[in-house]
A and B are shown apart, each in its own frame.
Chain A
């Protein structure tokens, strides 16, 4: 098992190399010049050139890439053009905030999805099944940023029970586990979890339903197992598929929360990316994308490992 994990980790190296190349290339392929964003249009050419030289933009692209890669590998992601602070520090704090939100949304979406999907698969009445299908369909189709705005209007503006934005009370310096901070998490968590909730509910429903029609379930009944004992068997069989889908969704939560974080002014990577795009802050853009991509790879690896642990039929060879 450990050997398998190590080998899978090794396979990540070429993938990581590819990712770094893409991250570097994408930013340079994008239109617009980062220097022109911080330099006033009427500044003399010398200033422009001097800044280009300072940031290394005057060198050929391959040189820029390897210089960037070498520096990046030491953990130095460069300096933000917008704020002048180290990118690593900016990304780290933003990433932490995003992870907190993503974990909350993942847990919420996954547990609710397992409950709803299993109920629908077991349901003898068509009404329950239809209702769950409707909920999951809505989860997938309702634009989550729109839902976020509606939530703010209803719960913050009209009812005034939950804070509309920010990570915590006004003078808060970072996230902490207490009620004032948790209160700020409720609305973004709900808004963020609707898509995974919809997708995973459908997966759970169909996987559990398929498992229930298998012969071994009849065999379990034939040996006198109680319904809750049979449910345990069914869920363990359905788990690998559902975990794989949830893993992908969790990855999307990390990367795809740009809109939600912007609506709720949540200081995460999405919020950071958003402002970096508008400021043409290349180092931030590169650093954030790189960290997100790395996290995505690790997440997929983790899901794969959990799958092989749950399902003995997946070969570890």
Chain B
């Protein structure tokens, strides 16, 4: 498998006259073709900002970028406007969290898929509509010919998200960005949509970055999981290692705070405190104020990302100590 996407030391800063937000502070990861990287984190951890940076969707005049994002060797952060818009939707496509608001309400689903096809393939009006029909069939929307003429508000949430997936796959992208695509859906529909994404991903061999705050979902779909906290990846590991042996105290806390079988009557563990304010660049480890195992040098300087073997990366001074299991 070749490297499809290389993100190196990505920094994203939002600057407004009133305040500055350091949303992403040095994120690095790779995605291969056919692989799914799950990015797990709570609200405000910078996971969606990271994802949207790959398409440079943030308002240009208020956003300061640092580092590098390379798609098949092409640098996205310095790319010209027209090259960027050629890339969007064609080589990299995105599934949004809320299909209800991500479709234009006053155009039909068919129109919105067909216009994307026309934009990137140079197909004619009729060909692009038949391609749109084909795509709706592919995501298993019943009676696709009629659905092409439906407006977004005339469809159910699950159906809209399927149409969104059809739209995203319309130009055979190499990389698919999924921004909490199942969060707005019912539990039963969630699973159907997850399975659909995984199936289509295997069929077309696309790389997927799947952003979510739902650990169950992340474990379900991902090959590797990266845990984000305060704009940094604190741990990145293959899914089995992440589930069986999380090293970072924050990952441990996250995994311990989920409900699973055999927990009846037990107290659910929670991580005390709240995430830090992102207005200032942290001097030490961002998690230190909430960490049970905090050390004196945690506050002095940010810990480096350490390789733990088996492509398991952890950003914690205690990474090797915790191997022994300092659960006490």
Tell me if A216 counts as interface (CB < 8 A to partner B).
yes
Tell me if A93 counts as interface (CB < 8 A to partner B).
no
> Across the two chains, which residue of chain B brings its CB closest to A215?
B101
Interface-located stretch among A84-92, A192-200, A229-237: A229-237
Contact of A224 among B61, B88, B106, B151 (CB under 8 A): B88
Whether the pair B105, A222 counts as a contact (CB closer than 8 A) is no
> Across the two chains, which residue of chain A brings its CB closest to B96?
A219
Interface-located stretch among B115-123, B247-255, B289-297: B115-123
Total contacting residues, chain B, CB less than 8 A: 28
Proximity bits, B35-72, A CB within 8 Å = 1, else 0: 00000000000000000000101000100000000000
Interface-located stretch among A60-68, A181-189, A308-316: A308-316
Whether the pair B87, A237 counts as a contact (CB closer than 8 A) is no
The verdict on A221 contacting B88 (CB below 8 Å), with A236-B106, A312-B151 known, is yes
With both chains docked as a complex, state the minimum distance between the C-beta of A214 and any C-beta of chain B, in angstroms. Answer: 7
Contact of B57 among A216, A221, A226, A237 (CB under 8 A): A221
With both chains docked as a complex, state the minimum distance between the C-beta of A147 and any C-beta of chain B, in angstroms. Answer: 37
> Across the two chains, which residue of chain B brings its CB closest to A312?
B151
Whether the pair B106, A222 counts as a contact (CB closer than 8 A) is no
Tell me if A218 counts as interface (CB < 8 A to partner B).
yes
Tell me if B229 counts as interface (CB < 8 A to partner A).
no
Tell me if A220 counts as interface (CB < 8 A to partner B).
yes
Query: What are the residues of chain B within 8 A of A237 when measuring CB–CB?
Result: 104-106
With both chains docked as a complex, state the minimum distance between the C-beta of A239 and any C-beta of chain B, in angstroms. Answer: 8
> Across the two chains, which residue of chain A brings its CB closest to B151?
A312
| Chain A interface SS verdict (over half) | helix
Contact of B119 among A214, A218, A223 (CB under 8 A): A223
Q: Which of A173-219 contact B (CB under 8 A)?
A: 214-216, 218-219
Tell me if A7 counts as interface (CB < 8 A to partner B).
no
Whether the pair A229, B96 counts as a contact (CB closer than 8 A) is no
Query: What are the residues of chain A within 8 A of B94 when measuring CB–CB?
Result: 219, 222-223
Whether the pair A224, B102 counts as a contact (CB closer than 8 A) is no
Proximity bits, B83-119, A CB within 8 Å = 1, else 0: 0011111100110101001111111000000011001
Tell me if B153 counts as interface (CB < 8 A to partner A).
yes
Whether the pair B57, A218 counts as a contact (CB closer than 8 A) is yes
> Across the two chains, which residue of chain A brings its CB closest to B117?
A223
Whether the pair A216, B88 counts as a contact (CB closer than 8 A) is no
Whether the pair A222, B61 counts as a contact (CB closer than 8 A) is no
Whether the pair B104, A224 counts as a contact (CB closer than 8 A) is no
Proximity bits, B248-288, A CB within 8 Å = 1, else 0: 00000000000000000000000000000000000000000
Query: What are the residues of chain B within 8 A of A311 when measuring CB–CB?
Result: 105-106
Whether the pair B57, A313 counts as a contact (CB closer than 8 A) is no
Query: What are the residues of chain A within 8 A of B55 when measuring CB–CB?
Result: 221-222
Contact of B103 among A219, A222, A224, A229 (CB under 8 A): A219
CA distance A236 to B87 in the complex (A): 26
CA distance A27 to B195 in the complex (A): 73
CA distance A221 to B57 in the complex (A): 7
CA distance A33 to B131 in the complex (A): 75
CA distance A311 to B153 in the complex (A): 11
Query: What are the residues of chain A within 8 A of B217 when measuring CB–CB?
Result: none
Query: What are the residues of chain B within 8 A of A233 when measuring CB–CB?
Result: 104, 106-107
Contact of A222 among B93, B107, B120, B151 (CB under 8 A): B93
Whether the pair B167, A223 counts as a contact (CB closer than 8 A) is yes
Tell me if A153 counts as interface (CB < 8 A to partner B).
no
Q: List 23 A-B contacts (CB under 8 A).
A: A214-B101, A215-B98, A216-B102, A218-B96, A219-B102, A219-B103, A220-B104, A221-B57, A221-B88, A222-B55, A222-B89, A223-B94, A223-B116, A224-B88, A224-B89, A225-B89, A225-B116, A226-B85, A226-B119, A229-B115, A237-B104, A310-B106, A313-B105
What is the interface of chain B, defined by CB distance below 8 A to chain A?
Answer: 55, 57, 61, 85-90, 93-94, 96, 98, 101-107, 115-116, 119-120, 151, 153, 167-168
Instruction: For the complex of A and B, list the 8 residue pairs with the smallest distance between their C-beta atoms, beginning with the closest.
Output: A223-B89, A224-B89, A224-B88, A215-B101, A219-B102, A222-B94, A312-B151, A216-B104
What is the interface of chain A, defined by CB distance below 8 A to chain B?
Answer: 124, 214-216, 218-226, 229, 233, 236-237, 310-313
